[in-house]
Amino acid sequence: MSAEVVGGLSQAPHKSRTIMSRIYNFSAGPAALPEAVLKEVQAEILEWGGTGASVMEVSHRGKPFMQAAAQAEQDLRDLLSIPENYRVLFLQGGATMQFSAIPLNLMGRGGSADYAHTGHWSKKAIADAQRFGNVNVVCDTSEEGYKHVPAFEQWRCGDAAAYLHITPNETIAGVEFSWLPDTEVPICADLSSTILSRPIDVSKFGLIYAGAQKNIGPAGLTIVIVRDDLIGGFPADEPRLMDYQVMADSDSMSNTPPTFAWYLAGKVFHWLKKQGGVAAMAELNRAKADKLYGYIDQSDGFYTNPVAVDNRSWMNVPFILRDDSLDNDFLSQSQSAGLHALKGHRSVGGMRASIYNAMGMDAVDALIDFMQSFKAANS
């Protein structure tokens, strides 16, 4: 059986995995990592780069790690074509910490900002921002259960907003922006689920942030990409490690950073460049999503996706069984078949397949094969 080539990436047939004990991990995060990266890390875990020690044991201020950290940043800059007037920060605290750090850095205390409420994560971001200033909710799709993104013409933007916050991909509901707002206000975007899955024009954003545990690396690291002119307004009486100026001035090393996560992220960045970069990943990711949604739509209603077609996520594909009494059987049987973490988020139920960069077409094929067999046995 020959390999299928999509977007310049060779995808092995789904019935012949190289490591049979490894599952297909459809988790929304922490998510699957590229096997090639894991093998490279495995080979270096006891002795890294001629140091005689593990990367987890060397000083973050020593030359070997400083060089690795600088290379990781450069590779990320190359992948996303990050302009020179943007700082790249490697931080702790998860993307959730940025729910507070962004308003403190960009509007201070008592300012105003616009927020789009299009899912569970934007709801959490709004709640944190409201502790520091005035939050104007420009749109709210909570009553419908987060099934689409309203057209920008319908948004109620404020006149004095320091920034506009959006969540371009809501991991839980599988709702994705297919466009960017046309505004002069700096756009702040939570790209945790979509960063590195396709090309983006960084210059259209004031700030991008992303937790690592989906398309970047292991949990414990958060990337912030912020334009220079948005740094420097942090209140003097707030925690200094949340001040982007402090972290930028110290090359993200005002305190000990998450060194292992940073090192592993660098490995993923290098792997992505070898695959052809984000343009190649975009072609593959689009093909994976199209194939899975295509099967769902053609399943005669046995499986359905509740999201508006134009707002379907490439990365997180939720689906519902027509007969929800079959949910437990679907989950137990899929797990036995090596398809793990398909249970939907507890707030919405159903199923969810997260198909980030490290998940090849073989994973989608294996899932569709199982869905077809399950449907045949239960129709």
Amino acid in the structure at residue 107: M
First-to-last C-alpha distance (Å) of the chain? 31
Tens digit of each residue's pLDDT (9 = 90 or more) over 240-255: 999 999 999 999 999 9
**Domain segments of the chain as ranges:** 63-273, 276-378
The predicted-structure confidence for 125-181, as pLDDT tens digits, reads as follows 999 999 999 999 999 999 999 999 999 999 999 888 999 999 999 999 999 999 999
Burial environment of residue 162 by CB neighbours within 10 A (0 to 12, 13 to 18, 19 or more): buried
If pLDDT is split at 50, 70 and 90, which confidence band does 20 have? low
Spatial separation of the C-alpha atoms in residues 279 and 373, rounded to whole Å: 34
Using CA atoms, how far residue 50 sits from 54, 58, 65, 120, in Å, is: 10, 11, 12, 45
Backbone angles phi, psi at 272, to 5 degrees: -60, -40
Closest CA to 197 of 87, 283, 296: 283
Q: Which H or E element spans position 116? A: strand 112-117
* Residue indicated by tokens 């060779």: 10
Torsion sign across C-alpha atoms 172, 209, 250, 31: positive
CA-to-CA distance for 224 and 228, rounded, in angstroms?
12
Calpha distance 245→101 (Å, rounded)? 12
| Location of structure tokens 């310049």 | 8
Tokens of 270: 């290098």
Active site residues: 121, 190, 214
What is the C-alpha separation between 201 and 84, in angstroms, rounded? 13
Output the six-digit token pair for 313.
């996520």
Say how many C-beta atoms besides its own lie within 10 A of residue 265's C-beta: 26
Q: What is the 3-state secondary structure (H, E, C) of 6-54?
A: ECCEEECCCCCCCCCCCCEECCCCCCCCCHHHHHHHHHHCCCCCCCCCC
Distance between CA atoms of residues 168 and 315, nearest Å: 11
pLDDT of residue 109: 80
Backbone angles phi, psi at 287, to 5 degrees: -65, -40
**1: pLDDT strictly greater than 50:** no
State yes or no: pLDDT of 43 exceeds 50: yes
Across the chain, mean pLDDT equals 93
Q: Which of 274, 265, 261, 260 is nearest to 76 (CA)?
A: 265
Of the pLDDT bands very low, low, confident and very high (cuts 50, 70, 90), residue 287 is: very high
What tokens appear for 295 in the block? 């099967």
Q: What is the pTM of this model?
A: 0.93
Statement: 276-378 belongs to CATH 3.40.718.10? no
Number of C-alpha atoms within 13 angstroms, CB side, residue 170? 29
How many of the other CB atoms lie within 10 Å of CB of 25? 18
CATH code, residues 63-273: 3.40.640.10
